[in-house]
Amino acid sequence: MKVLVIGSGGREHTLVWKIHQSPKVSKIYCAPGNAGTLRIAENIDIMADDINALATFAEGEGINLTVVGPELPLTLGIVDEFERRGLKIFGPNKKAAEIEASKVFTKDLLKRYDIPTGRYSIFDSAGDAKRYIKEIGVPIVVKADGLAAGKGVIVCHEEKEAIKAIDSIMEEKVFGGAGDRVLIEEFLEGEEASFMVFTDGKNILPMVSSQDHKAIYDGDKGPNTGGMGAYSPAPVITPDICREIMDRVMTPAIKGMAAEGRPYKGVLYAGLMISNGSPVVLEFNARFGDPEAQPILIRMESDIIPVIEAVIDGNIDKTDIKWREEPSVCVVMVSKGYPGSYQKGNRIEGLEDVERIEGVEIFHAGTRLSQGNIATDGGRVLGVTATGIDIKEAIGKAYEAVSMIRWDGVYYRKDIGRKALFVMGSA
């Protein structure tokens, strides 16, 4: 089987790594890929949003299965185009991917199907949004409606922060057209967690839980990023809460999408706040989380290809997944300045030393091969992922590996996984 993976980040390297383990797969292509995917796949110089070129390549190479990593091509309708050409592809179509493309769509969907979420108001005028903020006060959360690479959510504890957020999103257009509308939501107290499922549009197969670290600085301080690290499982998602997520969030969401004429097939990601012992939906994403994919897929013992095929064929109810018991941790190493401006092209050293540590995998995100060396080529550069007999050992191994990797301007959080230690009483 020939497989094409679309994307160039840490999630896509992780997918290539996992797919490479399948005995059903003979050849993997990655478009456009990075310096990590290059080791186990053939990188193809086609950007992830060049849908026509990707479909033409898949036709020409006789690709048996395409797996879409990032959200942008999904929201642009890559699944629709591949299916129109009779090509097998994994992911939701354009109408279904609106669950990530528009936060307004998602909030209205949640309301219609009585899925727990925070109170919200929608604005397409900066003046109206500012007047509303002055009226209701803070803390609040300001969100750009459209895609913003995980950075379009701003938690505001002071009124001036909220006003600045409106100016940035709606007037300065820091997220482009994604900021034509904003949501202003109530601020929810609790513990965040990520919950992903495979679904064929009717049946649902849950993955193990995880928890992301969005903020750039230790202690969840500073602006949001695409994700600074993650671990699995998330102790905050107990068996009872897991059942509640399936019953009150995932099942009604999948049924609701089908009822709306938008049957959803692929991975559905729920960003949750566990508040007062119950899940509240913060957002939905139409694909694997990044960096959550790294600690989750490293724990996946089963072959991923039959699972993907079952999603496409509509019989995931006949499939099961075996998971490793060992917890896992991913620490994301970034370029100085991220999530703002940063320098590219810095040589990365120490990767060969890390390969000697058992139970550690380095998933590349923003990297490229430059004159025979691996160099930085993005904000999030590497996802150092480790497993251990317990969460404490996994954290220790991940940071041991991180300490061996160097480049000019490297930065990473020092507290990834610490919340799990406190919950489990082993800090």
Domain count, the chain: 4
Q: What local confidence, expressed as pLDDT, does residue 423 receive? A: 61
In the predicted model, is pLDDT for residue 425 greater than 60?
A: no
> Using CB atoms within 10 A of its CB, is residue 180 exposed (0-12), middle (13-18) or buried (19+)?
middle
- What the block records as the tokens of 96 is 């279904």
- Which residues fall within 8 angstroms of residue 188, CB to CB, at 6 or more apart? 118, 273, 275, 280, 282
Mean pLDDT across the stretch 171-192?
91
What share of the chain in percent tops pLDDT 70?
99
Regarding whether 303 and 229 lie in a shared domain, the answer is yes
Domain final residue, candidates 43, 78, 93:
93
Mean pLDDT across the stretch 6-19?
98
Name 22's bridge partners. Answer: none
Mean pLDDT across the stretch 166-190?
91
CATH number at residue 229: 3.30.470.20
Per-residue model confidence as pLDDT tens digits over 339-375: 999 999 999 999 999 988 999 999 999 999 988 899 9
Q: What local confidence, expressed as pLDDT, does residue 427 receive? A: 42
In a domain, 100, yes or no: no
CATH number at residue 171: 3.30.1490.20
Domain final residue, candidates 290, 318, 346:
318
Per-residue model confidence as pLDDT tens digits over 216-231: 999 999 988 999 999 9
pTM of the model: 0.93
- When comparing pLDDT for 319 and 147, which is higher? 319
Helices and strands in the chain, H and E counts: 15, 23
- Three-state DSSP class for residue 101: helix
Per-residue model confidence as pLDDT tens digits over 101-128: 999 999 999 999 999 999 999 999 999 9
Q: Domain limits at 170? A: 119-186
Regarding whether 217 and 152 lie in a shared domain, the answer is no
In the predicted model, is pLDDT for residue 194 greater than 90?
A: yes
Mean pLDDT across the stretch 309-336?
97
Regarding whether 204 and 178 lie in a shared domain, the answer is no
